[in-house]
Amino acid sequence: MKKHSKYLVTAALPYANSFIHTGHIAGAYLPPDIFVRYKRLNDEDVIFISGSDEHGTAIEMASIAENVTPREIIDRYHFANKKSFEDLGINFDIYSRTSNKIHHDTAQEFFLNIYNKNILVQKTDKQLFSEKENRFLADRFVTGTCPVCGYEEARGDECSNCGSNLSPLELINPRSKITGDIPVIKESTHYYFPLGDYQEKLEKWLDSKKGWKQNVMNYCKGWLKAGLRDRAVSRDLDWGVKIPVKGNEGKVIYVWFEAPMGYISATKELFIERNEPEKWKDYWMNEDTKLIHFIGKDNIVFHSLIFPATLMAHGGYILPDNVPANEFMNFEGEKQSKSKGTGVFVKDITAKFDPDVIRYTLASNMPENKDSEFVWKDLQVKNNSELAGILGNFINRTVVFTKNKFDNRIPEIKTIPETGNDILAFFKSQSEKLNELYDTFKFKDALLLTMDCVRAANKYFNDSEPWKVINTDKEKCGEIIRVCLELCHSIAILINPFLPFSSERILKILNVSDKDLKWNKIGKTILTAGNELGKNRILFPQIEDSEIEIQVQASSGGETVKTVSPQTGIITIEDFKKVSLKVAKVIECVPVPKSKKLLKLKLNLGTSEKQIVSGISEFYKPEDLIGKLVVVVDNLVPSKLMGVDSEGMLLAAKQNGELKIVTIDGDIQTGADVN
RNA sequence: GCCGGGAUAGCUCAGCUGGUUAGAGCGUCGGAAUCAUAAUCCGUAGGUCGGGGGUUCAAGUCCCUCUCCCGGUACCA
């Protein structure tokens, strides 16, 4: 029965306005890749889908902020992220993107289907409209004075000063963030999806689900308990999938509604590429297919309530069989966050370390049950003591022994020694235990069990003492080494889901094809006596302290410093000239509400003023700083910290938990260049 | 404020419906071994399971309460 089911595995569509970081990988991409690889070793029918989510306000905002087209933004992140996945061996069958025509067609068909059934309801709201730009302004495009605290730069959805939730209509003196002009109030009609109508169906459906993770169920129950409400499915925006109904010019399908359909359009695209354009239905519309969504916890309600409801509304589609969401992976005690500039981008870490080492580190510490922690030191420790020490060493000692004592050829085996049979049987039984772990998404346990096999292999080598036996009985020694070589092959299979690159390298070293790279060959003898081994190579070179130190230092700059790429070395004067340093006087200084370390500073730079947010409140009180002359980076790309705009960076020295800001020795005019 | 989730050995984490001396990996310390990337193997030590109270023959596991962290959500007109 199980044999005949198909698997349709999806990984969350990353939003194309930032680079993916290790937290994303550990939470939503490595787990499905491991799962899919395991299934493939078992010859199961599985396809693995993901792609970039490329519409919505945030991308349009980014494009305006950078004065480029949205297309430039999404291209930048789409291709970078696609490459990041490839570099890490996350092997999607297709990594598509929602800006593709096929996705627009699919989403519009979906919308029309539901629209034609009169499922959608229309509501009219007052919204701010910019006559200059001739369009409605999304919440985040509006800025104005907060009616609660009087802060003049409040956003349309939230005041970043006092934290109040706002509607753009409440703002005093609202302005367009793009052009600065004053918008007018205009009515706009939108379509809503009546999620509440599906409450009962969803509850019943969820009740029938066995084996879902507790955290996933909890999130859903929370929402159901609160009652599901209508959700707008259209928006006044340029950038997105147009509403395919007349009279809705300037409106697009709300991104939350359209994005998950990206899984469907990506599947269509995949089978068009494979010249089987109808075959996607065999997955999406086939009850024998198990649809599994791998996501992070932020996405739970979309994948286990909202998207299923829209699938129900359309009809004909299967619903997810499981949604194994993970928690988050933090970074050295902090959230991995774009706005805070903390975390490790995949593009940076893959430039420096072996993808399998990264995969191993992330997998062994996956946030399966609760938020977990990525620590640089861990990468070194895992590599040196586990990958190199246990795994790499076993392969290496076996291969080197074969080379030195058996002419680099696979020894004959007449009878397998009893202890050899034991270890092979142990491998087999472990592989059976692993089946259950993989099927229940317990990948951390699976990794431990996998490494147990390698440990046992080392023990077999030790206990058998081939280096002694070689002196008395070469044939028997050959049999021991032969068993070890067979174990190497089994290990190549066992580690394949986690360490695909190393798995391949082991096959190369053994000089065999991948035809026996099948789960049911674990613990089997498959090598051919007399065959010569391939060239040996060290699978996991030691990672030195210095290599890790560089990373730790590069990413410990605190909130105001972006994690830098792992690059060191000498720069030219031209490089340095790119940085504009100026003397500035602190004229105002207040803590950022709700933040732990942030101070908001208003600075006088002689001819101009600017606002900088700096993570120094643990070291300085606001009143200590007012009037001080400080040094700032004047031409840093602006960013937001805790929702507060920051237009530069304050220089400070930091060491061992101490921090001192850079000040000027004596009097000089503010705005003076520093070099 | 309300809802949910955390707080377990030096570090990173497991502990299902309550049940013998609380587990794993890594690290520490000691020993064995020397084929191997100073890599392996064996053994040892390490925790009043965030604090306090309660239910029970029995609680890390259930209940109450407090502290701290993390999400979500509301209000603050």
For residue range A62-110, list pLDDT tens digits in order: 898 889 999 999 999 999 999 999 999 999 999 999 999 999 999 999 9
| Most confident region among A167-171, A422-426, A644-648 by mean pLDDT | A422-426
Q: Tell me the pLDDT tens digit for each residue of A184-202.
A: 888 888 899 999 899 989 9
Choice among A83-92, A136-145, A358-367, A536-545 with the minimum mean pLDDT? A136-145
Q: What is the pLDDT of residue A107?
A: 97
CB contact set of A573 (below 8 Å; sequence gap of 6+): none
Residue given tokens 């004065």 in the structure block: A67
Q: Protein contacts on strand B: list nucleotides below 7 Å from a Cβ.
A: 3-7, 11-15, 24-27, 33-37, 39-42, 70-71, 74-77
Nucleotide nearest to A452 (CA to C1'): B25
Q: What is the CA radius of gyration of chain A?
A: 29
Q: Which nucleotide has the shortest C1'-to-CA distance from A301?
A: B72
Separation in Å: B3 C1' and A373 CA: 26
Query: Which range (A262-271, A555-564, A577-586, A619-628) has the least confidence?
Result: A555-564
Res. A629 pLDDT band, cuts 50 70 90: confident
Residue nearest B42 (alpha carbon to C1'): A459
State the nearest residue by CA to the C1' of B2.
A226
Reduced to 3 states (helix: H, G, I; strand: E, B; else coil), residue A503 is: helix
What pLDDT, on a 0 to 100 scale, did the predictor assign at position A520? Answer: 96
Same fold, A376-521 and A569-674: no
Distance A297 CA to B71 C1' (A): 10
Name the least confident of A280-284, A411-415, A629-633: A629-633
Tell me, in Å, how far CA of A203 is from C1' of B2? 23
Name the closest nucleotide to A460, judged by C1' and CA.
B41
Please indicate whether residue A156 or residue A115 has the higher confidence score (pLDDT). A115
Query: For residue A373, what pLDDT is reported?
Result: 82
Q: How far is the CA of A471 from the C1' of B40 (A)?
A: 21
Share of residues in chain A with pLDDT > 90 (%):
54
Q: ipTM, 2 decimals?
A: 0.91
SS3 content of chain A, % helix, strand, coil (to 5): 45, 20, 35
Instruction: Note the CA–C1' distance, A572 to B35, in angstroms.
Output: 50
Fold of A376-521: Isoleucyl-tRNA Synthetase; Domain 1 (1.10.730)
CATH 3.40.50.620 fits domain A2-118+195-326: yes
Q: Is the pLDDT of residue A523 over 60?
A: yes
For domain A569-674, the question of CATH label 3.40.640.10 is answered with no
What pLDDT is stored for residue A596 in this prediction?
A: 52
Question: For A98-112, A123-137, A627-641, which range has the lowest pLDDT when averaged over its residues?
Answer: A627-641
Protein-to-nucleotide distance from the CA of A382 to the C1' of B37, whole angstroms: 14
User: What Å value separates CA A441 and C1' B25?
Assistant: 19
For chain A, give every domain's residue range: 2-118+195-326, 376-521, 569-674
Residue A622 burial (10 A CB sphere; 0-12, 13-18, 19+): middle
Predicted confidence (pLDDT) at residue A654 exceeds the cutoff of 60: no
Give the DSSP H or E segment for A372: strand A372-374
Distance A150 CA to B73 C1' (A): 24
Name, in order, each residue with C-beta under 8 angstroms of A424's C-beta and a sequence gap of 6 or more: A416, A483, A486, A487, A490, A523, A524, A525
Q: Give strand letter and number of the nucleotide nearest A396 (CA to C1').
A: B36
Closest C1' nucleotide to A163's CA: B76
